[in-house]
Chain A
Amino acid sequence: MTAIRRFLPGWLSSYAVLYLVFLYLPVIFLPIFSINTAATPKFPLSGVTLHWYEDLPRTPALIDATWNSLIVGVSASTLSTVLGILAARSITRYRYPGRRAINGLIMAPLVLPEVIVAISMLLVMLQLGLSLSLFTVVLGHVLVCIPYSMTVLTSGFEGFDRSLEEASADLGESAFGTFRRVTLPMVAPAIISSLLVCFTISLDEFIIAFFLTGTEATLPIYIWGQLRFAAKLPGVLALGTLLLFASFVLMTIAEILRRRAARRTQNEGGLYA
């Protein structure tokens, strides 16, 4: 028993290190093999090259997919953040019957298998006579982004001191003026953080885009198509590395902003524990 007490911290620490290695393992291999001269990813590396990266801008299908992803990402993140602001404002400010039920409805897509969410949306869009396009992908992404956007925004809106708004109104500012000059600056970091989180989710989302897009591919769909060809792997790895890097940067900024927002309204919590 004393052996457990003496050696446990040591064992656990080495286990923790191994576990972190396990978590980062796949993420590390993408950049490593993206600069390998050989097309098959194996050790030892046959040589270092930036060739695969140089090829990327010369692929028209990839450029199209990038534009599509940017269009979808910007529209989906803007829409879900606007809807998230309205909903989060309502949920943090007022208390009325059914509030939790409505919140539950909005969170529901997170607890259903994504494939089912995707096919049910596909069915309804075909029933409504909407032809599949980037627009239907945006709708689908808005649906999966709002739960995240709401979580980020509620943590930014909670604990918001309403007397500041009242003071502004008392001093003669109009409702819109109060919103623009008092409310907005206070919650701006949360809003930007929500935009970034939603953009990242949309940029990386595959299943829903796979079902709901017509002929236009987003980046993950482009990658999915390339995976069938072994010779295309290094290009995919290079593209993947760039996407990985973009996600890291966006999420880090989002997290810093979210913390700043939480500090501003004296509140902790949210997406990251």
Chain B
Amino acid sequence: MATAPVRPADLEADAPRAAGRTGARRFSFSEYAGFIPAVVLYGLFFAVPLAIVVAYSFWEVVDYNVVHNWTLDNYRYFFSVPTYVTTLWATLWVSVLATGLTIAIAFPFAYWLVRYVPRKLQRVLLVLVILPFWTSYLLRVMSWKVILGYNGVLNSGLMGLGIIDEPSTALLYNSTAVIITLTHAWAAFAILPIFVSLEKVDRTLVEAATDLGDGPLRSFLRVTLPLSAPGVISAALIVMIPTVGDYVTPKLVGGKDGVMIANAIQAQFGKASNWPLGAALSVTTMIIVSLMAGATVLVFRALQRLAR
């Protein structure tokens, strides 16, 4: 999400740098100084805490007390209990499906925005797309509960239209509800990167493909789609990483079947109060998220090469 620092500033920065080299290296401290408060804060409350979580995951619990004995037991226990393993797999499955669905339905919209909408209107529509996502995540998930619930909007609407006779319980409290909610919750985060990469696709390349006899479908598959891969990859990463660790959505609309790994982690730090096990769950989740992120990049790169 970080925007790359700007070139003009870089060029200008050479001046004080050169001066610093001839003079008494006056630049070094004052230039770093601006970062120091933020870095101290991030070190103390972000980097160190992560290290502590990792340490915790290798510690033992004896009589409800955490003992600083190094052990792999937490991981062994975690992988020996079927519930945890199934929850982990279910989480990954839900997150992959939600990510795929989010991208699949966002892509045509982004494509339409780039190809068929005048520039001025593009900006307005982008703001319009992003606006709902600046509202509370909790509230948006809650509205899905209102929409999908037993007495909810969808059920009463479908009954009003005479499509169903009695309210369906199949809509809420399962992983489908979680996937729908996640697909909605992360839509904007998929549209933006895809839009940006589609905008960069050189139209003359598409025209060249058409001139050389490719139909619209083939030129799309062989030119536009591969060239928009970077946007799709970043969309996949931006959506997948937070959905793996989502707590609110499974808790509110997931019911028993929709439990995800973040709920299990929270339970260990809350009610069950087995911090080392919770830490082991967290570390495993982080490792798997990183592996999935890596795999996503590799898969899309391979697909991109294949399409050419």
Contacts and interface: CB of A to CB of B under 8 A. Distances in A.
Chains A and B come from one and the same complex: yes
A244 B12 contact: no
A240 B248 contact: no
Contacts of A220: 136, 138
Interface string B24-67: 00011001111111110111111111101100100000000000
A183 to B, nearest CB: 13
Given A19-B109, A124-B49, 4 more contacts: A12-B111, A19-B108, A26-B144, A267-B6
The residue in B6, B32, B152, B247 that gathers the most chain A C-beta atoms within 10 A of its C-beta is: B6
Nearest to B39: A102
B221 interface: no
B280 interface: no
Contacts of A236: 142
Interface stretch (B79-87, B282-290, B300-308): B282-290
Contact of A92 (B9, B139, B247): B9
Interface string B104-123: 01101101110110000000
Nearest to B52: A123
Contacts of A106: 38-39, 42
A162 B49 contact: no
Given A105-B47, A110-B1, A243-B135, A120 B52 contact: yes
B63 to A, nearest CB: 19
Contacts of B153: 29, 41-43
Given A42-B153, A94-B27, A124 B44 contact: yes
B135 A207 contact: no
B155 to A, nearest CB: 7
A127 B48 CA distance: 11
A61 interface: no
Contacts of B2: 103-104, 107, 147, 150-151
The bracket for how many chain A residues form the interface is 35 or more
A91 B116 CA distance: 38
Nearest to A119: B269
B275 A29 contact: no
Contacts of B188: 23
A29 B3 contact: no
Contact of B136 (A109, A119, A243, A273): A243
Contact of B129 (A20, A94, A154): A20
Contacts, number: 291
Interface string A138-176: 011011001100110011011110100000000000000
A153 to B, nearest CB: 11
B216 A8 contact: yes
Nearest to B132: A27
B35 to A, nearest CB: 5
Interface in A1-41: 1, 4-5, 8-9, 12-13, 15-16, 19-20, 22-27, 29-30, 33, 40-41
Nearest to B2: A107
Contacts of B74: none
Nearest to A109: B46
A48 interface: no
B195 to A, nearest CB: 7
A128 B78 CA distance: 28
A43 B157 contact: yes
Interface string A190-214: 0000000000100110110001000
Contacts of B129: 20, 23
11 contacts: A13-B116, A27-B135, A29-B143, A92-B6, A116-B50, A120-B49, A124-B45, A154-B3, A203-B136, A240-B143, A272-B127
A184 interface: no
A159 B15 CA distance: 16
A182 interface: no
Contacts of A251: 131, 134
